[in-house]
Amino acid sequence: MHYPRLSLTLSQLMAVYAIKKGDESNDRLQSRFKKQVQEARFIKLLRERRTHKKKRTRRLQRFRALKREEYRTQNRKTQFYSNM
């Protein structure tokens, strides 16, 4: 299986590390490292970059912008009457 190239800089890859502290068990060290990885959100970033996403066409962008405006105007109309 071939994965597309992931362009991470060296500083991004080296940002997460865990050094064993005194009597700390290996399980605790591993969980601390795992927590740091999750907080750095690398997994999410890598999953997003794994597949290529096509850019939206200008036509689709315009269509979605119009839809957003419709939803916003509907919400503005019902905003003040929602408590009744």
What pTM was estimated for this model as a whole? 0.45
Query: Is the per-residue pLDDT at 54 higher than 70?
Result: yes
Per-residue pLDDT of 7-50, as tens digits, reads: 555 455 557 888 999 999 999 999 999 999 888 888 888 888 88
pLDDT of residue 13: 55
pLDDT band (50, 70, 90) for residue 4: low
Burial of 14 by CB count in 10 Å (0-12 exposed, 13-18 middle, 19+ buried)?
exposed
What's the token pair of residue 80? 């003040």
Query: Is the per-residue pLDDT at 6 higher than 90?
Result: no
HEC secondary structure over the chain:
CCCCCCCCCHHHHCCCCCCCCCCCCHHHHHHHHHHHHHHHCHHHHHHHHHCCCCCCCHHHHHHHHHHHHHHHHHHHHHHCCCCC
- Alpha-carbon distance of 9 to 79, in angstroms, equals 46
pLDDT band (50, 70, 90) for residue 61: very high
Better-predicted residue by pLDDT, 50 or 69: 69
What's the token pair of residue 30? 């591993």
